[in-house]
Structure 1
Amino acid sequence: MQRRHFIVRASALAATAAFGLAAAPARADSAADKFPQRPIRLVIGYTAGGSTDIPFRVLAENASKILGQPVIVENKPGAGGVLPAQMMQATAPDGYTLAQVAMPVYRLPYTTKINWDPVKDLTYVINLAGYSFGVVVPADSPIKSMQEYIAYARANPGKLTYGSPGSMTTLHLTMEELALKQNVQFSHVPFKGNSESLQALLGGHVMSVADTPGWAQYVESGKLRLLSTWGDKRSARFPNAPTLKELGYGIVQTSPFGLVAPKGTDPKIVKKLHDAFKKAMEMPNYRQELAKFDMEPYYMSSEQYAQFAAETVKKEKAIIEKLGLARPQ
């Protein structure tokens, strides 16, 4: 009788333990299962009205419909676009705040003293697109080609000014790489975004601007002249502008960007965000908005994006050291 009582009791305890083990994940995962339950903040590193901001607002609207909660774009310009990623270091990993990651983030370990790692201390969600870049001058500028641009810089060391979205941005480093390859000297003028730099160019405060195609409407209206683009092939929208590659300068530059969450974000939440933004970026209106700035969708999964980040950090170190721009250790 005692033996029978022991067996029944042991079976009951085993069943209770099994139930507890099965139930525990459900309780732990309840927040992820119900996500999202409130608005999501999406922080981008550039000014309102520019080539980054405008497509992002369409993307956010698309994602809002998919997720069933508002996705609100917040602009944090300055510092070359790295502020959103910096913010993630002090943000709760609950999925309700996301950040755009721009290429300068991967340069931070070599240019700035930071206490976090751009690869290990961010959760990579999805890559969305890549930029198109170009150099523009006013339509009445005596400089009519990229060859003349370089010739002017060679004849007038340090006098040829160009605006960019900021120091240590992809635009800045690529222009300095071009100057290094051509043995000339440019004068860099940093701005917070292309809406500011283009107004400075139109107002005669700088001689040229290197940036994403926020300049497109001004080129098409005849106010600015496009000297070159930086892709592997000519722009479909501006086929008359040669690439740096075909001009023999040995440079191809695009700058993929996407979304990250804080380190430690629940994988279930990351997957929900990835899936929602993947659907959002595939919608025709987002593709159409990118096309206005001569940009195209560039998808990478969470895993692919994290791998891209790790590889890019190594590549950026090499170019920064080559240009002699690394901060002293």
Structure 2
Amino acid sequence: MTLKATFIGLTAAAAMAAPAFAEYPDRTIELTIPAGAGGGTDTSARKLALLLEEKLGTSIAILNVGGGGGSVGASQFMQAKPDGYALFATWNSPLTTVPQVQDVAYSLDSFTPIASTSETAYTLCVKADFPVTTGADFLAELEANPGKYTYGNDGIGGTMQLAAERIFQAKGIDAVAIPFGGAGETLQNFLGGHVDIYGGSISTVLPYVESGEAKCPIVTSAADVPALEGASGLEALGLADKETLLWRAILGPKDMDPAVVEMLANVIDEAVNDPSYVEFLATKGEVPNVVKGDALGARLQSEYDALAEVSKALGL
């Protein structure tokens, strides 16, 4: 084939591809959420979807597929066509934590990272009369009493347990992990006196902190969290490298068109930073955090590797 013929062929191909991309999206997008309706990821994704509908000029249909800590929805979604009309709204656990403790049909390479949306810390909280005031006091109390205290978490090998154990292992702390079916169930058992320490998301326990029934001496982020005044971030405790966050993201199936991925990432960025969404996140103790494309893929891999080390140390 001559150089001229090659150029003509490439030009024709580009001319055919351009209108197809220019018309995207021209039909409904299906957004899979690997959790039941009403949870943190579901409510965040639905709020974001309303803004994305306005910006993309198309409707977004929500499909909740719960089960297996998010693995059922993730396994089902990886079979979707990479045409931009199937998106996946998830939190990090199904991708970086669940594969550490159970066999799953997917890997990080099964998805196209588009953009993260928001993040928040987990927290460890105690009753108001627990004999500590600061995060340093809290860790010292646990270190001085190996095996004495129990902490509720989101299940064996769940992100909360691994987040706590990253901190505890660094300080030589032996606390007893008690698994529950999520932050709500953990909270009920904490308030009922069945565990000494609540381990879970901030939004779930925040009303009880505000009422004075509980106090949270530590969060799992490096920085302090404004919503929990008095809680120590890990940087202040010399443990910044042990940070573990709960964060959310939008992914696509493997092998999506890079041009569509870039366009969606930019639209998601606009929606996440819309004042109404920022205000919504604040009510949940979350903040916007947009990481796009390859950088998001690197974040997923880094967290997966870090949690794999903790999981191995725990024998999970």
Q: Report TM bin, short chain.
A: 0.7 to 0.9
Shift of 1:313: 3.3
Aligned residues: 307
TM-score by length of structure 2 reads 0.80
1:285 aligns with 2:256: no
Q: Could you say which residue in structure 1 is the equivalent of 2:74?
A: 85
Change over 3 Å in CA distance of 1:129–1:316 after alignment to 2: same
In 2, Cα distance between the equivalents of 1:194 and 1:236?
20
In 2: Cα distance, 1:110 partner to 1:213 partner: 24
Secondary structure in 1 matching 2:30: strand
Q: CA–CA distance in 1 between the matches of 2:30 and 2:184? A: 23
Quick check: 1:81–1:102 contact (8 Å CA) kept in 2? no
Contact kept, 8 Å, 2:150 with 2:177, in 1: the verdict is: yes
Give secondary structure in 2 for the equivalent of 1:93.
coil
C-alpha distance in 1 between matches for 2:84 and 2:27: 10
Partner of residue 175 from structure 1, selected from 133, 140, 164: 164
Query: Which residue identity is paired with 2:251?
Result: V
Shift of 1:249: 6.2
Note the aligned Cα RMSD (angstroms). Answer: 3.3
Could you tell me which amino acid in structure 2 is paired with residue 131 of structure 1? T
Counterpart selection for 1:166 from 148, 155, 166: 155
Aligned counterpart for 1:315 among listed residues 295, 306, 310:
306
Identity of aligned residues (%): 25
Q: Deviations over 1:246-280 (max 9, x none)?
A: 34667433244311100022223222321221110
The 5 A counterparts of 1:109-124 are: 110-118=100-108, 120-124=109-113
Q: Following TM superposition, by how much is the alpha carbon of 1:239 offset from its aligned partner in structure 2, in angstroms?
A: 2.2
Letter in 2 for 1:165: D
Could you tell me the TM-score, scaled by structure 1's length?
0.78
Among 67, 74, 81, the residue aligned to 2:56: 67
In structure 2, distance between residues paired with 1:87 and 1:54: 21
Per-residue deviation at 1:20? 6.1
1:129-278 correspondence to structure 2 within 5 Å: 129-139=118-128, 142=130, 144-145=132-133, 147=137, 151=141, 155=145, 157=147, 160-180=149-169, 181-191=171-181, 193-214=182-203, 215-247=205-237, 251-278=242-269
Deviates more, 1:105-114 or 1:181-190: 105-114
Aligned partner of 1:7 in structure 2 is none
SS in 1 for 2:198: strand
Show structure 2 runs of 5+ residues with no match. Answer: none
Q: Which amino acid aligns with 1:275?
A: N
Which amino acid in 2 is paired with 1:240?
Answer: G
The structure with more radius of gyration: 1
Gaps of 5+ in 1: 1-13
